[in-house]
Every structure is written in C-alpha cells, then in structure tokens.
C-alpha cells in the first residue's frame, strides 16, 4: 500500500513516518511539506504543501491510507482565526481530495476533549475536523484522542505544554501525558485493521494498543 501523511514535520507525524518507513505494508509515503522532514527513507516522497490547490492535486502514486497529524497553537498561528484555518480548513481541503481519490482509511490525531460543540476553542476545532471527516464517509475512519503529548518539538517551544506534560505524568492512563511515539504507533497499527465506519480511540486505549503490541513481540 501507499500512505499519505499530513503534518510530516510535526511531533506525532514524524514518528508516523518512522513507523511507516519500517513497515513492510507500505511501499511509498507521500508527504506535503513546506520544509524537508529530514527523513532519509527511500519510501518517502516529499511534495510542496499546497492545500489551496488540493482540489486539482493528483498524487504521484495511488493513496490507500492517510494519516493526519496537523496543527498549531494560537500563539504560533498569530490568533484564534489563523489557528482555526490551520487546524480545520487546510486539512479539510486535502481530505476532500482524498475522498475523491477513494482513499480507504483515514487516521486522525485529534485531542482528548474534541467536541465541535465545546466552549473550549481548541477542543471545538478538533471536534469540528472530526465531524467534517465523519460526514465525508470514508470507508474507514479512526480518530485518536490523546491526552497531553509527551515529546520535544525542536524549534517549537511550548512552555504551557511542557508544564502540562510534567503535571499530568502521574495521572491514570486515561489522562496522563502520553508519548507522541505511542500515538503514532497506535495510528499505524490500527490502520492495518481498517475498521469499518468511524472509530474513536481515547488516550487510555492508545496505551493499551502499544502495550499489547509490546507483549506480542516479546512472547
């Protein structure tokens, strides 16, 4: 199969690239980027990021699975409206084209509190994108709702997130800080199953998927 990764220079998607590159299930990985990922895999095909032109985009290879781990902060975006543009509108443009291309499976990295009716702006954005994808009716759509992500973002310091990582490290699995690599691994593992319709996987279940795989490989 061939994969599409949106957000490939980000924290979670960087690990997704590594898992896809190491998997025998994938021959090619297509990633729209504004700057190189630095990943040296022969499978990786980096193309210029052009969400506005996505309606006319023809991928270099047929796409079977797509992984969406794309987002920013209000501060980095320059305001709430700009953040909403990045969190919702731009991915939606690519997703509409992926639906036209009859992509079989979508994996989305969302957020623990995702809800399009939420009064929290960030959770509402994540929930809105989930709802938009659900309405597109892909054959298989899995949305992952992790708690605070653990991991270092080179060149993208987020003091509030770093504080939350430390503060939430000792909570129960459903809420504790979860390594970004765990989320990426679970996304790739679940994509192989292509569960029908929409599936929601919350943070505690992500831990369980990774633990089950570790137990399987050590038996």
- In this prediction, residue 58 has a pLDDT band, given cuts at 50, 70 and 90, of very high
For residue 142, give both structure tokens. 């899995």
**Region at 200 (left for phi over 0; alpha for psi -120 to 50; beta for the rest):** beta
**How many CA atoms within 13 Å lie on the side-chain side of 161?**
18
Residues 31 and 47: beta-carbon distance below 8 Å? yes
What's the rounded Cα separation, in Å, for the pair 3 and 158? 29
Task: Name the residue among 20, 17, 47, 36 with its Cα closest to residue 192.
Answer: 20
* 163, pLDDT greater than 60: no
Closest CA to 146 of 195, 111, 122, 181: 111
Report the predicted TM-score, pTM, of the whole model to 2 decimal places: 0.90
Which of 81, 82, 78, 94 shows the shortest CA–CA distance to 33?
94
Does residue 154 or residue 78 have the better pLDDT?
Answer: 78
Q: What percent of the chain is modeled with pLDDT above 70? A: 88
The 8-class DSSP code of residue 176 comes to S
Give the C-alpha separation, 79 to 88, whole Å. 14
CATH number of the structural domain 2-218: 3.40.50.720
The two three-digit tokens of residue 107, written as one number: 């994996």
Mean pLDDT across the stretch 98-127?
A: 96
Quick one: average pLDDT of 131-139? 98
Strand 140-145 to strand 44-48: parallel, antiparallel, or no bridges (unpaired)? unpaired
For residues 6 and 32, the answer to whether their CB atoms sit within 8 Å is yes
Q: Mean pLDDT throughout 179-201?
A: 96
| Mean pLDDT, residues 122-142 taken together | 97
């Amino acid at each position: 199969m061939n994969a599409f990764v949106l957000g490939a220079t980000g924290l979670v998607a960087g690990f997704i690239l590594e898992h896809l590159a190491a998997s025998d299930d994938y021959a090619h990985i297509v990633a729209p980027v504004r700057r190189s990922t630095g990943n040296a895999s022969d499978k990786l095909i980096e193309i210029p990021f052009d969400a506005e032109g996505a309606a006319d985009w023809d991928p270099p290879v047929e796409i079977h699975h797509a992984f969406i781990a794309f987002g920013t902060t209000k501060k980095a975006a320059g305001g709430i409206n700009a953040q909403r543009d990045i969190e919702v509108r731009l991915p939606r443009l690519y997703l509409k084209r992926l639906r036209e291309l009859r992509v079989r499976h979508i994996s989305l990295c969302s957020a623990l509190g995702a809800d399009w009716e939420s009064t929290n702006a960030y959770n509402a954005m994540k929930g809105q994108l989930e709802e938009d994808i659900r309405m597109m009716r892909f054959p298989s759509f899995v949305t992952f709702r992790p708690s605070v992500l653990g991991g270092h973002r080179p060149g993208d310091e987020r003091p509030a997130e770093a504080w939350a990582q430390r503060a939430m490290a000792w909570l129960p699995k459903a809420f504790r800080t979860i390594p970004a690599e765990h989320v990426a691994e679970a996304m790739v593992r679940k994509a192989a199953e292509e569960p029908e319709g929409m599936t929601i996987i919350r943070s505690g279940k992500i831990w369980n998927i990774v633990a089950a795989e570790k137990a399987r490989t050590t038996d």
